[in-house]
């Protein structure tokens, strides 16, 4: 889990991403407890409230659920949910941005497809 925090994104969003990545990688399994706000605060040297915000977002997304007095746990089906969400984000956000940049560079759609299929042949 202990990746370094970067400056590209809000800290609490990075916390979300890291926990989701850990769930996908099998570091955190469904039903297991995730680190508490205080543990995250200590791990990343951040304010517990910031960590809480990140965890709160994951609870809202249904990735985590809270067990009173015990902490936050990974929800059933969380891994699949994360995979779906990231797939959607990849197509709708990242790919779209890539296409926009390609177009601003004058790369046509055909060039792009050619690059994609050409790449498959090499791989």
Partner 1 sequence: MHNLVCTNITKRYKEKEALRQVDLTLESGKIYGLIGRNGAGKTTLLSVMTAQNPATAGTVTLDGQPVWENQPVLDRLCFSRELSASAGSGIAGMKIKDYLRAAATYYPGWDQALAGRLVSAFRIEPKKALGKVNKGMLSAVTITVALASKAEFTFLDEPVAGLDVIAREFFYKTLLDEFAETGRTFVISTHIIEEAAGVFEEVIMLKDGRILCKENTVGLLDRAVQVTGLSEAVDRATAGLECHHAGTVGRSKAVTVLLRDGERIPDGFDVTVQPVNLQQLFVALCGEEGMG
Which residues are at the interface with partner 1 (CB under 8 A)?
5, 7-12, 38, 41-42, 44-50, 53, 104
CB 30 within 8 A of CB 69: no
Q: How far is CA 76 from CA 28, 55, 101, in A?
A: 12, 16, 38
CB nearer partner 1, residue 44 or residue 78 = 44
Question: How far is residue 37's CA from residue 73's CA, in Å, rounded to a whole number?
Answer: 13
Q: How far is the CB of 38 from partner 1 (least distance, A)?
A: 4
Q: Which is nearer to partner 1, 9 or 83 (CB)?
A: 9
Shortest distance in whole angstroms from residue 42 CB to partner 1: 6
Nearer to partner 1, 55 or 79 (CB): 55
Closest approach, Cβ 62 to partner 1, in A, equals 22
Where does residue 15 rank: exposed (0-12), middle (13-18), buried (19+ CB within 10 A)? Answer: buried
User: Closest distance between partner 1 and the C-beta of residue 56, in Å?
Assistant: 12
């Amino acid at each position: 889990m202990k990746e370094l925090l970067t400056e590209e994104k809000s800290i609490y969003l990075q916390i979300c991403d890291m926990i989701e990545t850990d769930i996908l990688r099998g570091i955190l399994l469904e039903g297991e407890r995730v680190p508490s706000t205080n543990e995250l605060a200590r791990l990343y040297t951040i304010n517990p409230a910031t960590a809480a915000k990140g965890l709160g977002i994951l609870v809202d997304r249904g990735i985590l659920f809270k067990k009173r007095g015990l902490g936050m746990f990974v929800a059933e089906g969380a891994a699949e949910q994360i995979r779906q969400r990231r797939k959607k984000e990849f197509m709708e956000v990242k790919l779209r941005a890539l296409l926009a940049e390609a177009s601003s560079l004058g790369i046509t759609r055909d060039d792009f497809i050619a690059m994609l299929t050409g790449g498959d042949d090499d791989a």
